Amino acid sequence: MNELLRKTASEQSKAIKNKEVSALELTKAQFERINAIEDKIGAFNSLTEEIALNTAKKVDEKVAKGEELPLLAGVPLALKDNMNLIGSKTTASSKILENFVSPYNATITEKLLNNLVPIVGKANLDEFAMGSSNENSAFKKVHNPWNLNKVPGGSSGGSAASVAACEATLALGSDTGGSIRLPASFCGIVGMKPTYGRVSRYGLIAFASSLDQIGPLTRSVEDAANLLEVISGHDPKDSTSLNLPVEHYSANLNGDLKGKKVGVIKELLSEGLAPDVEKAVQNAIETYKKLGCEIKEISLKNLKYSIGIYYILATAECSSNLARFDGVRYGYRHPDSKNLMEMYTKTRAEGFGPEVKRRIMLGTYALSAGYYDAYYKKAQQMRALVTQEFEQAFKEVDVLISPTCPNTAFDLGAKSSDPLAMYLTDIATISCNLAGLPGMSVPAGFDKDGMPIGLQILAPQLQESRLFNFGYKFEQSNDFYKQIANI
């Protein structure tokens, strides 16, 4: 493998600016790597070679003229296949959108292209971003680069695996209940979910609109900070977009943590935690102590309800959002229906996979007459209590930490027949989305089988810079992030 592909985005940027390598050479090397190992990983649904090479040429033209390069120009990126890129297929890994070609760009895609970031392909995911293992894709399963028999985590499994396997240096995922942080933890990379509204959702295929947020998957915290700077900002096309200035997130990475307070979430360090994961979190606590932090145990009593709240609200929103896939306007249509109702039912029966159907049915039930107050309304009330509890916790501490997941990556197929066991994988990540907080998973070690472990760090709303500061200081205190899957 070309050694440059193992480097962080910051290191690759420097090499391009110093003319040690051209952006075109780097992008071509990236496609050589993808072609060499993609059969084993399954990270991509499609490649966008022409778009990437054209972007790389523009970077080299700027370098030749001595012009200043935008942030992350020339650094190859994988785009989750639920984000629109003009002229590319955007399938959400679903049969119903198998041949759908994007007629427009998502706002984040525009920002990437304006910053001359070469988009190498559309990354595989759980169908419509529904899943924790990336086994729900209609096309193929994604394999974990650290062990090809294990899952990469979901739903942004293709994005995470592409970065971990050096098929891309950067990737974007979407996070509705942990879909960036969980695969980052399983694949040994950095995954970050911004505050709700920080990044535009325009052009993202919606799963649950009050929870979805786009964020970076990278090899280092600095790369995540820079990528967030590129994609964040107000967008009038998204009514939930926050009208706030874009911060220079990497400016305060090295801030002193002496005297800062780190809260350890008591409920996420209790039973059901794998011993190696618990040990990694205890080591992280010791690391923060050495950095001068005060450690405080924090109890979040409503956390235990978060999975129940999430699977009512997320499925209700999914049932509403996915009503548009009816075979009339775009996507798959059943070829020989006798009437409109038959066309609707056969199109959706054939176009959606089992997990998507399960969630649509759950959500439709929760929203139906007679059950709305008992389920949806009650879940919204509980969501407010979860949010309040976090607000109280952040009056006592600067950040909260926990394992990103109670376990490391499990075997492919191990939880496929037990949806509830699969849902419980997200126990540590879901509450962050319910409260709209920024959260991040950073590499925190390896279990006895050599599989990566992630540490989750949560900060108050809009405190991304604080989150990056705590993540960076932890990352630089060890060398976990420097270790790359040997594939």
Asked if 468 contacts 458 with a C-beta cutoff of 8 angstroms, the reply is: no
Q: How many CA atoms lie within 13 A of 274 on its CB side?
A: 20
Catalytic one of 22, 155, 241, 402: 155
Catalytic one of 10, 22, 62, 80: 80
Beta-bridge partners for 171: 78, 217
| Known catalytic membership, residue 155 | yes
Ordered strands of the 439-446 beta sheet: 44-47, 119-123, 77-80, 170-175, 213-218, 190-193, 439-446, 452-458, 399-403, 261-265, 294-298
Catalytic one of 179, 185, 241, 306: 179
Give the strand pairing for 261-265 and 294-298. Answer: parallel
| Known catalytic membership, residue 378 | no
As a whole number of angstroms, the distance between CA 81 and CA 92 comes to 5
Residues 6+ away with beta carbon under 8 Å from 245:
none
SS (H, E, C) 176-235: CCCCCHHHHHHHCCEEEECCCCCECCCCECCCCCCCCEEEEEECCHHHHHHHHHHHECCC
Nearest 10 degrees: Cα torsion 54, 56, 57, 61: 140
Q: Exposure of 247 by Cβ count < 10 A (0-12 exposed, 13-18 middle, 19+ buried)?
A: middle
As a whole number of angstroms, the distance between CA 216 and CA 198 comes to 13
| Known catalytic membership, residue 402 | no
Active-site residue set: 80, 155, 179
